[in-house]
Chain A
Amino acid sequence: MLTYSIRRLLIAIPTLLFISLVIFLILEMAPGDPLADQPLTVPPEVREKMRAALGLDQPAWVRYLLWLKQFFWTEPLHLVDSLLGTGFADPAGRIVSWQFRAPAMDIIWQRLPQTLQVVGLAYLVGVIIAVPIGIISAYRQYSWFDNIGTFVSMVGFSVPTFFTGVVLIIVFAVNLHWFPSIYDTTLKVTDWESFLKQARQMVMPVTVLALFNASQISRFMRASMLDNLQQDYVRTARAKGMGEKVVVLRHVLRNSLIPVVTVIALGIPTIFGGAIITEQVFKVNGLGQLLITAIYANDLPMVQTLTFIFAALTVLFNLIADVLYGVLDPRIRYD
C-alpha cells in the first residue's frame, strides 16, 4: 500500500504540472483585463505603468515559469520560514495578487478558517444526516419515508443554492428576524454569548449547503444499500438467524459504506473550493468568494494559485479515496 501510494504521488507530479499549464493557458486566453474595473478616468499612460507594475509586460511563458518557481519554490520556503522563523525565502519572490498587491497565499490562509468552518461543517452535517436517511430509504424502499426522502433530495439537489439561500434570507432574516442576513467574519468566539451569535449566523448557510450535500450523499448511500441488500450474503446472514439490526448494520451497511466513503472523500476538496455561490449569498467571504472576486477582477495569479490548489487537493483526495477503498475493501489490493 505504501509503495502504491508513493508511486501514485510520483505520477501525480507530471499530472499536476500539466494541470497548472492548462489552467495558465486557459486564463491567458480568456478575455479580460486586470485593469478593466479601474474607472475610465484613469488615463492610458497610467494604465500602461500599472500593467508593467503587475508584470504584465512580460511574455506569457516567462510569467508561467515565474509562477512555477514562486509556487513550488518560494512559497514552500516561505512556509518553512514562517514556521521555523528562518529566512530562506525572498519575500519579493512570492506570488502577488493583483487586486491586493499582497502575497496571495497570505490571503488564502486568512480565508481558510472561514470556509472550513461553514462549508466544512455543512459537509459534516450533510454526511451525518445523509447516511441514516440513505439507510432507511433503502431498507424501506418505496415506503412513504423513502418517497419523501427522494422528493426532498431531488429538490435539494436540483434547486440551486442561490435560490434556497435567498429564500431562507427573505423568510428568516428579512421577515422573521431570526438570523442575520450578512455573515460577520470579524466575530470572534470568546464566550457563550459570542458562541451563540456565531451559531446563529452559521445556521442558514450551513443548512443550505448541508441540504445540498445531504441530498447527494443520501442518494449514494441509498443506491449502495440497495445494491447490497439484494446480495446473497445478506440472505446468508438472515439464514444464519442474525437479527435484522445485525444484518442491516453489520453486514449491509459496512459493505455499502465502502463506495460512499470514497464518494465522501472525493467531495472533501470541494470544501476547500468553498461553496462559491453560498458564500456569495451569505457573504461568508471564504475561499469561494475569494476565487469568484479574483475571477471578476482578472486577478490571474490569485485565480491560478487557487485553482491549482483545488486541482492538487482533488488529485490528493482521489489518491486518498483509492487508498481508503483498499483499506475498507479486502478484495482490493494494490501491490
Chain B
Amino acid sequence: MSLIDSISLPRSISLPRIDGLIQWIVPLAIIGIWQVASVTGFVPTRVLPAPSDVVLAGWKLLLSGELVRNIWVSFWRASIGFLIGGSIGFAFGLANGLSQLSARLTDTTLQMVRNVPHLALIPLVILWFGIDESAKLFLVALGVFFPIYLNTLHGIRTVDPQLIEMGRIYGMTDGELFRRVIFPGALPSIFVGIRFALGIMWLTLIVAETIAASSGLGYMAMQAREFMLIDVVVLSILIYALLGKLADSASRVLERLTLSWHPAFQKR
C-alpha cells in the first residue's frame, strides 16, 4: 500500500457509493462523540451545547422565520459583494494581462493597495458608510477583488506563448485569440482565484456582520451572545461553515464542467 494514493491511479477500481460515504464518517463520528460527551456531562453545556440542542435551536428559529431571513440577508450580501469585487478584479486582471499600457498604469498601485489588510479598514468604512448595507458590500468586494485580480492576471500572463503564436499563424483575430486561446488558458488560474475569493468573502462577511450590522448571521450570533444563547451561537457558526462548503462545492462543479479538458478532471 502506498501512502500517496490520492494522486493518479486513473484506472483504479472505484466504488462510488462507498467513496461518497467515506468522507462523512469522520464528521458523523465527531458529532456522535460530541453528543455523548454533552449528555454525560463530560463537556458542560455552558461551554458547548449538545448537537441535539443546536438542532432544536435551529428548528425554533426556522419556525419563527428568523433563521431564513438572516441567512438570506447574509447570502445576498455575500453574492452581491462577490459579484461587484469579482467583476472589477476580473476586468482589471484582463486589462492588465492583455495591455502593457494598462499594466504599467495600474498594477503597481493595485499591488500597493493589496498590502493593506482590508479588514483594517473597518473603522474607516464605518465612518464612511455607518452600518449600512454598503459598508458590508464594500468590504466583501474589496476582499474578493485581489485574489480574482491577481489570479486572472497570472492566468493570462502564463498562457503558453507558443499557443498564442500558433493562433496568430492560423489567422485568428484578436477576439478569436482571446476567446479560443487566452481565456481558456487562463481559466484554471481564474478558478483558483474564485475559490480563494470565496473563502475571503465569508471571512469578511462574518467579521463585518459581527461588528457592524443589524441583520444577518453574524448579527444573529452577536445577539445570541448577549442573551447567553450559546446554542444559537454555535448554530450560526455551523451555518457559516455550511454556506462556505456550499459555495466551494458550487465552484468545484463549475470548474469540473468548464475544465473537462484538463487532465486533472478526466478520471472518469
Same complex = no
Interface residues of B (CB under 8 A from A): none
